[in-house]
Structure 1
Amino acid sequence: MHNVETSGHNVRWSALVEQLEGRLDGLARAFTTRVREIPEYGESQVTVQEITETARETFRRLIRGLKGGDPTSQDGLLDFASDLGSKRARAGIPPESLTSAVRLDFSILWAELLEIAKPEDAMLLASRVDQVWKVVDEFATRTHTSYLTERVRMAQEESSIQREFIARLFNQSTPSLETSAQVASALGLNPDSRFALVAASGEPGAQLRSAVTHAGTARPRLFLHESGGNTYVFWPLPSVRTRGAASNNTLPAALSTVPCGYVSDVLGLRALPAAARTAETLAALLRPRDAGPLSADAAWARLARQNLQDAGLDLAAELEEALAECKGGERDRLLETVRNYLTTGNVTLTSEQLFCHRNTILNRLNRFQELTGIDLAVPVQAARLVVAWA
């Protein structure tokens, strides 16, 4: 096979590369014109002057790389690529836009080579296309690697800063307006918005952390705080909410099956620490059969019972003592009737559900009142049973 890599070809190649060096300004202008057509570049904080100067330096180093064919040893080309990738990451250029911009290097450089070459250079160019591509590809690869590394570092730094501000918020019982404003600015939130919050520990807490990790930047954005073995997650609610809508409608899908304490509506960032304490209390009331978040609306009776027990009052024990004189199956019949009546609040519906005559239901309710002193027709007294049996 005929070898085109003769000394004459090497001399001619060097001459072409020398001509490229004399056209750096034109190469930079061509790159700037085309890269400004990429929307994210046209609207970015990277100025036209910076783009042009960077392009000129990029082509200068690429052309030097073409002389030796080894980017790692030519004029700091790869170090320059690393610095460029970091700069574009800090400038907020999206990755796909950076890819489009870097791809321009080869097309512009090759088009310039074709323009200065003569017809008899066709075989030479065909033999050198791999070399040109290798130099540009090495540059592009290093640029992208540095870009991604910087993006990861920036994300970690941002996350760390946000965690610090969130901790500052939750470490105060009642955060000041200044703290609230600072945290809101750091998180990109409105300090007066409404929020929802959940809390859990142990395995459910790990599930909350996993949900936040997998949610990423999806909406609504989830914010994480961990303290004292508890995991807290909060998120902003839509600015417009449907009146009377179920609170569970505000729950992100990733949290809907995690057993945790749930506060569905918190007014402002300053109220989040108090809401966290409420959610922590609700989480302590969870039972094995609970398969999702527990709100105050659903757990108010459990919460009341727990508070009464903490105060030394046990309504359930008092009821058991009052019903102790029941004989045979009377106790069970009374309890069944009362529980059904508490659910419906209607004697007729209760009689239908239990397949009893309406008078039978009334007699049982009267008997229950006789034994316990609780008149179910009086809401305040009926509430004692709801709490006792929570």
Structure 2
Amino acid sequence: MHNVETSGQTSRWSELVDQLDGRLDELAQTFTTRVREIPEYGESQVTVQEITETARETFRRLIRGLKNGRGEGRDGLLDFASDLGSKRARAGIPPESLTSAVRLDFSILWAELLEIAKPQDAILLASRVDQVWRVVDEFATRTHTSYLTERVRMAQEESSIQREFIARLFNQSTPSVETSAQVGSALGINPDSRFALVAASGEPGARLRAAASQFGSSQHSRQRLFLHESGGNTYVFWALTSVRSRGSGTRGEAHGTEAAAQQLPPGVVDVPCGYVPEVLGLRALPAAARTAESLAALLRPRDSGPLSADSAWARLAQQNLQDAGLDLAAELEEALADCKGGERERLLETVQNYLTTGNVTLTSEQLFCHRNTILNRLNRFQELTGIDLAVPASAARLVVAWA
């Protein structure tokens, strides 16, 4: 068989590998020079001395693997690879940078072999290239696997620590400045920043947890989500990237709500939940959580996204009045009970439209009625119910009653 290696070739291979073993310092120096060209290594906390020492030990073990194939020394090589992967993960080296660094091992070893070999060694090198690649590839695979395992462990450890600090924050009705500062440090955020918070339970709560899982790492630092769970409720909060817009009147309020809504993360924007769009600092989050929980209790089947106090204040007022034994809607029904024919429906349609527009002319145009007809209906409604829609406090009763 042409691929059977002779004893002379085996002996020559041992000689070449021995020469490699005598060039460990040169191999390590070459590796150090080239790996420092990778930006993440050049800027990392891994010192030049550590890189050089690790490279020397790596090549020593790789060369031992070349001497013994898959036999003696393989376990030591792979154990060293596991330790190296863990170290680089803890040093914060990005995975692509680690891959680039490990790939250097083969090219440097092979270049050194070509340099020390003679022309007549060409056939021998061709027959041994697979062995060199296999040894280096095993080392690289184990290093990468260990790196990923360590990264997962670190993420789990970081997540556990963060959950403890978040729980400490939410378990206090009014957290101290010291607690706020500690939590901010643990989460890597400014404790005095502005935040938004949502709350939900059941299936919507599960969707919030999924969103927090997807956007909870520092890799999504542009809008990183933080999770807290308590009493069957799921709370998610995040730092706002800009101050919510403010203005006077309805136009300014609408613009502010729109600006806040634009900051809703993709995984939250379509989840029915209670929503507090602006929270002033970490210390205010527990109170905001209670508000969001109350808003979540007001959700209705037709709601398809976060519900804020701006859009649900009437529902909230209605609920509080009902809890106090006052039912405005029932009072209105009783006041309109004597209406005959379709009068009740016409009055309700007119009043509801007027509450939306605040303008008699617009109401008449939308209902295709004469302006005087609209005025007559509004007067009739006042006569039956005692509610003057020109008085804001009276009109507010209707908004709450029909929330």
TM range (shorter): over 0.9
Matches within 5 A, 1:93-242: 93-216=93-216, 217-218=219-220, 219-242=222-245
Q: Secondary structure at the match of 2:223?
A: coil
**Which letter does structure 2 place at the counterpart of 1:281?**
S
- Are 2:28 and 2:52, in contact at CA under 8 Å, matched by a contact in 1? yes
User: 1:325 offset after TM fit, Å?
Assistant: 1.9
Deviates most, 302-311 or 241-250: 241-250
Contact kept in structure 2, 1:215 and 1:222, CA below 8 Å: yes
Whether 1:12 aligns to 2:15 is no
Quick one: which of 305, 309, 313 aligns to 1:292? 305
Partner Cα distance (1:155, 1:38) in 2: 25
The separation in 1 between residues aligned to 2:341 and 2:379, in whole angstroms, is 18
Deviation readout 1:296-354 (Å, 9 max, x if unpaired)? 00000000000011111111111111112222222112111111111111112112222
- Determine the C-alpha separation between the residues in 1 that align with 2:347 and 2:334: 14
**Among candidates 267, 275, 279, match of residue 262 of structure 1:** 275
Contact 1:193/1:239, CA 8 A, preserved across alignment? no
Provide, for residues 267-313 of structure 1, a one-character-per-residue CA deviation record: whole Å limited to 9, x for no partner. Answer: 10111111111111001101111111111000000000000111111
- In 2, the alpha carbon distance for the partners of 1:72 and 1:180 equals 56
Corresponding letter in the other structure for 1:372: T
- Indicate if the aligned counterparts of 1:71 and 1:138 stay in contact, CA closer than 8 A: no
Is it true that 1:343 corresponds to 2:356 in the alignment?
yes
* Partner-residue secondary structure (3-state), 1:169: helix
Aligned ranges 1:360-379 → 2 under 5 Å: 360-379=373-392
Aligned-residue offset at 1:2? 3.0
Task: Please report the RMSD computed on the Cα atoms of aligned residues, expressed in angstroms.
Answer: 1.4
Give the TM-score taking structure 2 as reference length: 0.94
| Partner Cα separation in structure 2 for residue 34 and residue 383 of structure 1 | 74
Displacement of 1:186: 0.8
Structure 1: give runs of 5+ residues left out of the alignment: none
CA distance in 1, matches of 2:104, 2:191: 44
Aligned length: 390
After TM superposition, the structure 1 = structure 2 runs for residues 374-389 of structure 1, keeping only pairs within 5 Å, are 374-389=387-402
Structure 1 residues 138-197: Cα deviation after superposition (integer angstroms, max 9, x where no partner): 111110010010011111111111111111111111111111111111111010100111
Please list every run of 5 or more consecutive structure 2 residues that lacks an aligned counterpart in the other structure.
247-254
Most deviating of 128-137 and 358-367: 358-367
Q: Give the alignment partner of residue 280 of structure 1, picking from 268, 276, 293.
A: 293
Give secondary structure in 1 for the equivalent of 2:15: helix
After TM superposition, the structure 1 stretch with the greater mean CA deviation from structure 2, 316-325 or 199-208, is 316-325
Q: Is the 8 A contact 1:4 1:127 kept in 2?
A: no
Task: Please state how far the C-alpha of 1:252 moved relative to its aligned partner.
Answer: 1.5
1:255 alignment partner, SS class: coil
AA of the residue aligned to 1:40? E
* Alignment partner of 1:302 is 2:315: yes
Is the Cα contact below 8 Å between 2:199 and 2:273 reproduced in 1? yes
> Which stretch shows the higher mean deviation, 314-323 or 262-271?
314-323
Instruction: Find the aligned partners of 1:72 and 1:225 in 2 and give their Cα distance.
Output: 51
**Structure 1 residues 381 and 205 mapped into 2: Cα distance closer, same or farther (>3 Å)?**
same
What is the deviation of 1:369? 1.1
The whole-number CA distance in structure 2 between the counterparts of 1:129 and 1:332 is 90
Single out whichever of 326-335 and 59-68 deviates more from structure 2.
Answer: 326-335
* Contact 2:180/2:283, CA 8 A, preserved across alignment: yes
Give the stretch that moved more between structures: 347-356 or 380-389.
347-356
Of 232-241 and 78-87, more deviation after overlay is shown by 232-241
The more displaced of 272-281 and 206-215 is 206-215
Contact persistence 1:64–1:75 (CA under 8 A): no
Q: How far off is 1:371 after superposition?
A: 1.4
Q: Which moved more, 1:322-331 or 1:131-140?
A: 322-331
* Superposed CA offset, 1:230-275 (max 9, x none): 1111111013544443231221122111111111011101111111
Distance change (3 Å), C-alpha of 1:55 and 1:71: farther
Instruction: Spell out, residue by residue over 1:105-150, the C-alpha distance to the aligned partner (whole angstroms, 9 max, x if none).
Output: 1111111111111112111111111111111111111100100100
The answer on whether the counterparts of 2:64 and 2:73 sit within 8 Å (CA) in structure 1 is no
Would you say the 8 A contact 2:295–2:307 is kept in 1?
yes
Looking at structure 2, the residues matched to 113 and 258 of structure 1 have their Cα atoms a distance apart, in angstroms, of: 61
Superposition TM-score, scaled by structure 1 size: 0.97
- How far apart are the structure 2 equivalents of 1:241 and 1:184? 21
Contact 1:4-1:124 at 8 Å conserved across structures: no
Q: 1:365 to 1:240 in 2, by over 3 A?
A: closer
Q: Does 1:333 align with 2:346?
A: yes
The whole-number CA distance in structure 2 between the counterparts of 1:339 and 1:16 is: 93
Does the Cα contact within 8 Å between 1:71 and 1:135 map onto a contact in 2? no
